[in-house]
Amino acid sequence: MGVNIGFEQDGKNDLFERPVLIIKTFNKEVLWIVPLTSRHKKNKYYYEFDYKSKPQTAILSQIRLISSKRLLRKIWTFPINDFKKVKELIAEFLR
């Protein structure tokens, strides 16, 4: 994710790595992502789910456009029902 400023979600370690959910790919170079965190927050801009029996949260308010060159590796595939819900929630607050 790179070094961020203010309240943006930062990555961890020297490479500023952060798990993300790919929301939409526009082409081979550009995509929309939502950062993920293990911290829970309850409001309309966060979506909580479980991954390997561990609670996780998608930070919907921090959707952003990034270069595909920022992606380092695929970690796992997001469950389709959760993915649909995340897209619905994003669409709701973009209206």
pLDDT tens-digit map of 23-35: 999 999 999 999 9
Residue pLDDT, tens place only, 35-90: 998 888 888 899 998 888 888 899 999 899 989 988 888 888 888 999 999 999 99
Return the bridge partners of 13, or none: none
The answer to the question of residue 4 being in a domain is no
The per-residue pLDDT for 9 is 57
Give residue 22's pLDDT: 95
Residue 81 within any structural domain of the chain: yes
Q: What range does the domain containing 43 cover?
A: 20-94
Residue 5: inside a domain: no
Q: What is the pTM for the complete model shown?
A: 0.80
Angle at 55 between CA 16 and CA 31, to 5 degrees: 45
Is position 59 within any domain?
yes
pLDDT value for 41 = 81
Residue 74 forms part of a structural domain:
yes
| The predicted structure's pLDDT at residue 6 | 55
Task: Quickly count: other Cβ atoms within 10 Å of residue 69's Cβ.
Answer: 7
User: What does the alpha-carbon distance between residue 3 and residue 24 come to, in Å, rounded to a whole number?
Assistant: 23
Asked whether residue 41 is domain-assigned, the answer is yes
How many domains does the chain fold into? 1
